[in-house]
Amino acid sequence: MRGNMAKTKQTGQKLNKKPMNLRLRPWLIILPTLVVTLGILYPFYQAVFYSLTDYSLKKPVWHFVGLKNWLEMFKGVNFWHSLWVTVKYTIAALVVEMGLGLVIALSLNRKDNLFTRILKVVLIFPLMVSPVIATLLFKLMTNSSVGVVERFLNLFGVYGFPWTADSSTALFSVILIDTWVYTPFVLLLILAGLQGLPKSPYESAMIDGGSAWFTFKTLTLPLLKPVILITLIFRLCAAIQEFSIIYSTTKGGPGDTLMNLSLSAYRDAFTYSSIGKAVPQILVLWVIINFISSKLVKAWLKAKSANNG
């Protein structure tokens, strides 16, 4: 019975090259990706082009204006103010979220019991909440007439805390929302990293009798470095262009307290209809993101190979 299987049909002629369909296969596989990639690259080049024109959403004609938009931007005050807001926001968000995320992840990882297992799921929930919805919740909670936080503060004699209404507390308020939404992201990635740590170095460290701090400093931290870096990349790139939270709280206000580059570009493009003025700001943002993230990715690859090697 074994002999009745179909035999391969063999031709005598010799193939000198890989058949066309085989050579094309890798290209066919990545073709869809190439198509959609072009779909995103074209708008990008379009954007660069717009920055050299006085293109507006309201006027039917546009003119080529050279570097006028760029020069005006660098000369003006608004751009530098927006850049400063962007930097402030990014640093504040990153420091708080990375620190908090790391500490919580380590605390959760110390013991494996029902409590920590439930927390590992529950603490991720805020990440699932859209920043806009988070803002909505924040507004509800801090509302001076019905907000539960307001009532809670009343207990301490604080009435009508201004939150986003005052320029002195606005940044603190949006960072609070940002922290609520994005700390779980840091937590999630670092937990993943902790789970993947090899066990044997810890066993030998325990035999050597190293203190908890020493183990953390010499083992956990270096081993976690790739994860920390990738988390930092993601958070940095999101925080530096944060739009949703600020837009849905104050649209950049009060005044221009929270007017970061994203919001400033949005305002120029859609409120003032001047795309030529909006695009340079966002291109600067893009250059900054690209510069920092490429440096961080290099560090990440290096840390990763150092751990594997």
Q: Which of 10, 61, 75, 157 binds another protein (CB under 8 A)?
A: 10
Q: CB under 8 A: which stretch of 88-96, 154-162, 166-174, 225-233 binds another protein?
A: 225-233
List, in sequence order, every residue forming a beta bridge with 64; answer none if it has no partner: 53
Q: Specify whether the CB–CB gap between 178 and 97 falls below 8 A.
A: yes
Please tell me the distance from the alpha carbon of residue 292 to that of residue 97, in angstroms, as a whole number.
Answer: 18
**Segment 118 to 157, residues that bind another protein, using CB under 8 A:** 119-141, 143, 145-146, 148, 151
Q: Which of 248, 252, 258, 259 binds another protein (CB under 8 A)?
A: 248
Token pair of 82, please?
A: 């927006």
Q: CB under 8 A: which stretch of 63-71, 75-83, 165-173, 242-250 binds another protein?
A: 242-250
| Rounded-to-10 torsion of CA 215, 220, 222, 223 | 140
Q: Which of 233, 239, 258, 259 binds another protein (CB under 8 A)?
A: 233
Q: Which of 73, 93, 239, 275 binds another protein (CB under 8 A)?
A: 275
**Segment 162 to 221, residues that bind another protein, using CB under 8 A:** 180, 183-184, 188-189, 191-193, 195-196, 211-212
Q: CB under 8 A: which stretch of 10-18, 70-78, 90-98, 154-162 binds another protein?
A: 10-18
| Min dist. Cβ of residue 250 to another protein (A) | 11
Asked if 96 interacts with another protein (CB under 8 A), we say no
Q: What is the distance of C-alpha 149 from the center of its chain?
A: 28
Q: Which of 93, 94, 170, 230 binds another protein (CB under 8 A)?
A: 230
Asked if 270 interacts with another protein (CB under 8 A), we say yes
Given the structure tokens 């930097």, which residue do they identify? 87
| Min dist. Cβ of residue 14 to another protein (A) | 4
| Min dist. Cβ of residue 257 to another protein (A) | 18
Count helices and strands (H / E) in the chain. 14, 0
Please tell me the distance from the alpha carbon of residue 298 to that of residue 290, in angstroms, as a whole number.
Answer: 12
Q: Which of 227, 232, 258, 259 binds another protein (CB under 8 A)?
A: 227
| Min dist. Cβ of residue 306 to another protein (A) | 13
| Rounded-to-10 torsion of CA 240, 243, 245, 246 | 90
Given the structure tokens 């000369």, which residue do they identify? 75
Peptide bond into 162 cis (omega under 30): no
Asked if 241 interacts with another protein (CB under 8 A), we say yes
Q: Among 165, 182, 183, which Cα is nearest to 173's?
A: 165
Q: Which is nearer to another protein, 83 or 119 (CB)?
A: 119
Residue 82 exposed, middle or buried by CB count within 10 Å (0-12, 13-18, 19+)? buried
Site string for another protein, 41-80 (x = CB under 8 A): -xxx-xx--x----x-x-----------------------
List, in sequence order, every residue forming a beta bridge with 33; answer none if it has no partner: none
Please tell me the distance from the alpha carbon of residue 232 to that of residue 97, in angstroms, as a whole number.
Answer: 10
Q: Which is nearer to another protein, 36 or 114 (CB)?
A: 36
